[in-house]
Chain A
Amino acid sequence: MISIPLLKQTIKSNWGLWLVSTLTVCLLYIVMKLSMGSIAVPSDTDPNVLVPYIMALQEAGLSIDGLFSAIGINPDILTGLATMDGNTLVGIMFYPIVGVLLPLLYTVIVGNKLFASQIDRGSMAFILSTSIKRSKIAITQLTFFVLSLILMFLIAGFVDVVLALIIDNSLPVDKIILLNLGLLLFSITMGSITYMFSAIFNYSKYSLSFGGGLALTFFISKILGLFGSDLFMTMGIGIEPMNFFNRITLISLFNTTSILDGTTNYIIEFVILCVISILCFTIGGIWFTKKDIPV
């Protein structure tokens, strides 16, 4: 099914980028989790200081909600703020934004290198002039790509679980594992998209424009979509129409809110990610076996 010498060659030409990406993901986890841990408990707040203020409002027959309304802030923000902690922030802001960044870069660059860049530069000639079937080339490249991502998140996930065990007030380990699994599935899906464009185009410029362009669109949309998200709406700083961006970004299928809430929406979304991956890998693989390769 796969060509071992080709697999070796692909590993040799991509392991550096894989290592840098994996280490950076781990480093981001460590820095982020340790700093989040330290701000999770607002220890400076002394409840005794607050009591007189609340008493004063009650004596005057007023409520805190009324006070907020009077100064023009939606009182719902109180409930929002009361239920929020560092972990919610980690779940909603860190994983789908900071967490996806490195895998996005990795899949865009490596995806392009799997086919398009080798055809563009001409080095594919040395592979095609051996008796390795085109379909075998496609499957070997796919195998490398998926396995490298799995290994990346096995390592990152392991680091994340260790962090969860040593940091107080952390998210439970099962959620951590689910979040990393989600990141992995999303990364494989993004990889399948860059793989497909790399297999379709004979020039890096096109493969990168489509693969990288989509990755960038998804990433920026996720950030813009944040302003329309439930989290921002409850905090009173949301802009409802910007929720539109959440509907056009693939990152939304990595539903961290559902994972953290313990609802089951994320499962069907994981399945959708898998379906997209299979589709894109298949289209790319078949395309590669049925096209002119001018090397």
Chain B
Amino acid sequence: MGIIEIHNLTKDYGLSRGIFDVSLEVKKGEIFGFVGTNGSGKTTTIRNMMGFIKPDYGSVRILDHKVNYNTEYLMKHIGYVPGEISFPDIGDGNAFIKIQAEMIGLKNMDYANYLIKKLGLDTSANLKRMSKGMKQKTAIVCGFMGKPDILILDEPSTGLDPLMRELFVDILIEAKQRGATIFMSSHVFEEIEKTCDRVALLHNGNIIDIVNMKVIHHNELKTYKIEFESNEDYQKFLKEQINLISKKDIYHQVTVDIMDNQINNLMRTLSMYKVKYIKEEKYTLEKYFLKKIIEEKKND
């Protein structure tokens, strides 16, 4: 049984906006990434998961309870960081964190204070005058401070500088280590790559793929960029038995795909050429994602 199960979730806002037949399952202790272009339906999916909105069709089940408007009892297991952050007009960050802790029934503020310190958050700043980054940090503290079993995060690192993102990744890993299940939408591929076990790709409201990050990290198909000293070598190499991805005539450059078990063949072949340099093109989630979207567009 998954901690979060989404079955055929559909919320149609017309004009092909919304989400259509989204299904996925998040297992216990997993960090599940949710990536997609702007307006692809990430937030709509998350609003359904939180029971803020009701689907036209399909369902979300969390901890084996079907989520709806009245499943607020599930919220004591869930920490949430909204995508659009706005605070009530009640003074400074301290006041807000304190009242939020009261609302979730949290008495021990040790972990909250730890997070505040770690993120370097100045909680004495007025909520109205907070920068985007500060608001984001405040929301992260509120979402994580209760050490919930499940974290649902809508683009949680928006507005954080690269240094802060590193710290945020630490906090995510800490949560995973204590056994929390995390569902996180993002368009920062880097943090998804660093943290997630599996990633769903959402495009125009449809899930086009769910990848296990192991496939990305330990991909046996590698891409190399090779540049030759001379045009003769370059032209000659093009006639070899290779899986050519792209070439650049003026630089005498080729990009080839090759499986790890074929690499020695390539080395042998290359030994007969004057190679200027050879470089592995890292296979990233972003590339994978772009490839998938392009495939998807061709199918349309």
Contact = CB atoms under 8 A, between A and B. Distances in A.
Interface of A: 3-6, 8-9, 12-13, 118, 121-123, 125-134, 289-290, 292-295
Contacts of A130: 72, 75, 100, 103-104
Nearest to B101: A5
Given A9-B88, A12-B95, A122-B84, A128 B50 contact: yes
A131 B52 contact: no
A278 B88 CA distance: 28
Contact of A8 (B54, B87, B99, B142): B99
B82 A13 contact: no
Given A126-B100, A126-B142, A295-B52, A131 B84 contact: no
A289 B69 contact: yes
Contact of B103 (A3, A134, A289, A290): A3
Contacts of B132: none
B53 A294 contact: yes
A103 B73 CA distance: 37
B72 A131 contact: yes
A132 B102 CA distance: 11
A125 B103 contact: no
Contacts of A122: 82, 84-86
Contacts of B78: 129
Interface of B: 47, 50-54, 69-70, 72-76, 78, 80, 82, 84-91, 95, 99-100, 102-105, 142
B76 A293 contact: no
A5 B84 CA distance: 23
Contacts of B51: 128
A121 B85 CA distance: 8
**Most chain-B Cβ atoms within 10 A of its Cβ — which of A8, A13, A128?**
A128
Contacts of A9: 88, 90, 99
**Most chain-A Cβ atoms within 10 A of its Cβ — which of B52, B87, B105?**
B52
A132 B86 contact: no
Contacts of B70: 133-134, 289
Given A9-B99, A126-B88, 15 more contacts: A4-B102, A9-B88, A123-B88, A126-B142, A128-B50, A129-B80, A131-B74, A133-B72, A134-B69, A292-B53, A293-B52, A293-B53, A294-B47, A294-B53, A295-B52
Contacts of A12: 88-91, 95, 99
B76 A131 contact: yes
A124 B85 CA distance: 10
9 contacts: A4-B102, A6-B103, A8-B102, A122-B85, A128-B50, A131-B104, A131-B105, A134-B70, A134-B72
B99 A292 contact: no
A129 B82 CA distance: 9
A293 B70 CA distance: 13
Given A6-B103, A8-B99, A292-B54, A129 B89 contact: no
Nearest to B90: A12
B109 to A, nearest CB: 15
**Most chain-A Cβ atoms within 10 A of its Cβ — which of B50, B89, B99?**
B89
A122 to B, nearest CB: 4
A13 B127 CA distance: 12
Contacts of B73: 131
Contacts of B91: 12
Nearest to A119: B52
A121 B86 contact: yes
Contacts of A133: 70, 72
B75 A292 contact: no
Nearest to A14: B89
Nearest to A126: B100
